A and B are shown apart, each in its own frame.
Chain A
Amino acid sequence: MVEVTLWGALAAAAEGNSKVEVEARNIRELFKRLSERFPGLTPLMDRGIAVAINGTIYRDTWSKELPAGAEIYLLPRLAGG
């Protein structure tokens, strides 16, 4: 079980929850569980979400493990120039 913090727009789509507890071992499972629990999140996830694990931002490594007790933060998927 990991605790995940959602940024503002995601929290609104997750029935107002800014923090949720999810049973997930990696980012792929995290997205799947969140999508099942909060269908409103799916369009935002399709648009792209990044996951910060203990401060390091992951955009595409969905196999990345979520260590117990880690700080997990969902952020918009950003583009650069």
Chain B
Amino acid sequence: MTFDPSHAARSFSSVGTRPIRPDGVDKVTGRARYGADFNMPGQLIGRILRSPHAHAVIRKIDTSKAEQLPGVKAVVTAADLPDLTNGDTSMYDILDNCMARRKALYDGHAVAAVAAIDAHTARQALKLIDVEYELLPHVTDVDQAFAADAPLINDTIITKGVDPKPDRASNVSMRSQFGHGDVDAGMAKADFVVERTFRTEQTHQGYIEPHACVANVSSDGTADLWVCTQGHFVYRQHCAQLLGLEASKLRVTSSEIGGGFGGKTHVWAEPVALALSRKAGRPVKLVMTRDEVFRATGPTSATSIDVKIGALKDGTIIAADATLRYSCGPYAGSWAEVGAMTAFACYKLENVRTVGYEVLVNRPKTAAYRAPSAPMAAFAVESAIDELAKKVGMDAVDFRIKNAAQEGTKASYGPVYGPIGIGPTLEAVKNHPHMKAPLGKNQGRGMACGFWFNFGGQTCTDLNIGMDGTVSLAVGTVDVGGSRASLSLVAAEELGIDYAQVRAVIADTSSLGYNDMTDGSRGTFSSSMATISAARNAIKILRARAAQMWDIPVEDVTWERGHAVAKGETHGNLPNLSLKEIAAASGTTGGPIAGHSEIVADGAGVSFATHICDIEVDPETGATKVLRYTVVQDAGKAVHPTYVEGQYQGGAAQGIGWALNEEYIYGKDGRLQNAGFLDYRIPVCSDLPMIDTQILEIPNPNHPYGVRGVGETSIVPPLAAVANAVSNAVGVRMEHIPMSPPRILAALEA
């Protein structure tokens, strides 16, 4: 489906308005059902035993005492989750992460689980499981793990992407490289060069709702899973494969979601809950504690990034080079590869090279987090760009405008860009009142750019028209940010009816064809394409039914603003038929009226944003206060502007937390020391100013309305924007995220 140019000039009726979200009332009155709100008669409570060691061989697990405890109905270990992955190393890693097999690879790695009649009994049973460990040397720091003499985490890992192939195992699972031109020759021509090493610490997505599910495996081989997830179809696929179930016999229903941000695109405890239910023969409810969420799910990579950028006297960047080391947890990953692709994507560069290294560490398996890997690369590059602008003697915005990528630019990761929005976001920032506002003592202003790819993917949608003329829209992309409202607007727009006549629901996996998960900023982008297609299919039927009712050829019926309109000299005077009238007659004109669509929504447009941050630093304590923050981002077309703004603000808030406070802190024993929101501090409302937003609309040529994904790009610039603000406030270049008070004081005293 390509962009319909007529939409550029047309005035939308529903799209672009800001109605109240359909799930809003239930959410603010406590009626919405999240993962932990689902219960079944006779359900058991599941609990997981986790390794207290960062790296250890599991010599023996004795579950006999736990099994004998009254009230315990099932105990499972890796033996109850046999390897059915058929050589699929990616699935094997997921299996091993859900339940350790040979070794415990990080503090918090699951080693056994129980299902009991209540939580107290389950906890007692965990204490009766005897695990015999043989401790091994561990490594949790990305640079230490990268070193040749580091403790080896997996002796089968031979670095891919290196020629010749290494003859010994290491903690580096892959090397990747992108770029073009001659970086060394370009750098030799540079009049100014900035070269630094930056570090970012590991963070968690910080979703408020812990992982939760209820699993019910029946004796007839069918199974149900109610779960908090960003992708119930993907969960079905993974759980079915790991449990040896037929996908069609496992029905997965997604609950409301209290945040995911990528962390709920991976299965963690769900296969374990299913294994417990299968063994116990009863439903099993498994809800993680906050401690478990931190220790065993979802962190992003910790990184160490070398950046070198050279510029000519006239401000042209002549060469750019970066080496990026990203931690992956104890399994192979491709996180540095993404960082290497995004690092310089905002710029027009003749000579550019990025090299990524995936580094295994004894920490939880790295998971996606909102534009995964891009924020850290942007922090390093945008910090160096800011410093380079000063050396050249140019304003930070003007320097970026001069070097910004544009349509026709060869991206640093390879292809040539189509129409893109980096230039317009920079121009908007240059002209924004925020950039002209005065600053006080100990205050600094920073700005930074960010890029994210955006994706589409497999999508299936049903649109059913009831006999009363109202519309049920069944979609398969989990609503993580208001997409039910956005998709209802799209259906209303296409059908020409009121938003209030449409109700969107998230269908379970047995009710709709396969859908990829809600990731890659694809929810509204791809499901709106499928909704448009489904609505247009329904309109074909509506026209045919109207033709029947009028007894005229269907070719003489058009659809305009929610009505069938008869055309032609012989029947042009027929009164229009509304959707409601046609629906009411559907029982005698051919039965139910529905539109269906199954598509691959490729062609998501790449996305750019530019942010501005004002910050005040207390030079005595190192404490920081964000005074003002502005997000400017291209949305293509904002379907529901309030939720687009919400995505911009949410990404900025998470990025500010990442920049200033959030980090996993490990002790020398390899154990996580701050597995809770008291010691792992995410920003709360009182920490932040109102985040100002400006939506730009540069249509995506591959979407009928010009929509681009908007969910992720907003977290890419904040680390750098905040770091540039702090650096400008204190006069010292900040190289280490988060910029917590001790780090700022250390930088000031260095």
Contacts and interface: CB of A to CB of B under 8 A. Distances in A.
A40 B520 CA distance: 29
Contact of A59 (B174, B457, B519): B457
Interface residues of A, number: 25
B178 A7 contact: yes
Contact of A81 (B90, B178, B519): B519
Given A80-B712, A81-B372, A55 B416 contact: yes
A80 to B, nearest CB: 3
B339 to A, nearest CB: 11
A80 B522 contact: yes
Interface in B715-737: none
Contact of B160 (A9, A71, A80): A9
A76 B418 contact: no
25 contacts: A7-B178, A8-B161, A8-B176, A8-B178, A9-B174, A9-B177, A16-B163, A52-B414, A54-B415, A55-B415, A56-B418, A57-B604, A60-B602, A61-B602, A73-B415, A76-B338, A78-B455, A80-B262, A80-B452, A80-B520, A80-B521, A80-B522, A81-B263, A81-B368, A81-B519
A12 B176 CA distance: 10
Interface of B: 90, 160-161, 163, 174-178, 205, 261-263, 265, 334, 337-338, 341, 368-372, 411, 413-418, 452-458, 519-522, 600, 602-604, 606, 702, 712
A8 B177 contact: yes
Given A59-B455, A61-B600, A80 B371 contact: yes
A78 B536 CA distance: 31
A7 B205 CA distance: 30
Given A7-B413, A79-B455, 17 more contacts: A5-B414, A7-B176, A9-B160, A55-B416, A56-B602, A57-B453, A60-B457, A60-B600, A73-B414, A75-B413, A79-B520, A80-B519, A81-B205, A81-B262, A81-B263, A81-B265, A81-B369
A58 interface: yes
A58 B415 CA distance: 12
Contact of B414 (A9, A12, A54, A75): A75
Contacts of B606: 57
A56 B603 contact: yes
Contacts of B417: 55
Contacts of B265: 79, 81
A60 B370 CA distance: 22
A42 to B, nearest CB: 14
Interface in A31-67: 47, 52, 54-61, 64
Binding site secondary structure of chain B = loop
4 tightest A-B CB contacts, nearest first: A81-B262, A80-B520, A52-B415, A8-B177
Interface of A: 5, 7-9, 12, 16, 47, 52, 54-61, 64, 71, 73, 75-76, 78-81
A2 to B, nearest CB: 14
A68 to B, nearest CB: 16
A57 B602 contact: yes
Contacts of B600: 59-61
B171 to A, nearest CB: 18
Contacts of A8: 161, 176-178
Contacts of A79: 265, 368, 372, 455, 519-520
A64 B163 CA distance: 33
Contacts of A64: 602
A13 to B, nearest CB: 9
Which of B177, B458, B521 counts the most chain A CB atoms within 10 A?
B177
A23 B521 CA distance: 34
B418 A54 contact: yes
B204 to A, nearest CB: 12
B338 A12 contact: no
Contacts of A54: 415-416, 418
Contacts of A12: 161, 163
A53 to B, nearest CB: 8
B334 A76 contact: yes
Nearest to B367: A81
Contact of A76 (B175, B262, B337, B416): B337
A7 B178 CA distance: 7
A80 B90 CA distance: 17
A81 B712 contact: yes
A73 B453 CA distance: 15
B179 to A, nearest CB: 9
A49 B590 CA distance: 45
Of A58, A71, A78, chain B has the most CB atoms within 10 Å of the CB of A78
Contacts of A71: 415-416
A73 to B, nearest CB: 4
B547 to A, nearest CB: 33
Nearest to B266: A79
A47 B334 CA distance: 11
Nearest to A47: B90
Nearest to A71: B416
A71 B414 CA distance: 10
Given A7-B178, A12-B161, A59 B371 contact: no
Given A61-B602, A79-B372, A9 B262 contact: no
Contacts of A57: 415, 453, 455, 602-604, 606
Contacts of A58: 602-603
Contacts of B369: 81
A56 B175 CA distance: 25
A47 to B, nearest CB: 8
A73 B166 CA distance: 28
Nearest to A74: B414
Contacts of B341: 75-76, 78
Nearest to B337: A76
Contacts of A59: 455-457, 600, 602
Contacts of B411: 55
A8 B174 CA distance: 12
A46 B205 CA distance: 29
Contacts of B334: 76
A56 B712 CA distance: 18
Nearest to B702: A56
A9 B178 CA distance: 9
Contacts of B416: 54-55, 71
Contacts of A55: 411, 415-418
Contacts of B413: 7, 75
A7 B414 contact: yes
Contacts of B519: 79-81
Contacts of A7: 176-178, 413-414
Given A8-B177, A57-B602, A60-B458, A81 B370 contact: yes
A52 B178 CA distance: 15
Contact of B338 (A47, A60, A61, A78): A78
A50 B693 CA distance: 32
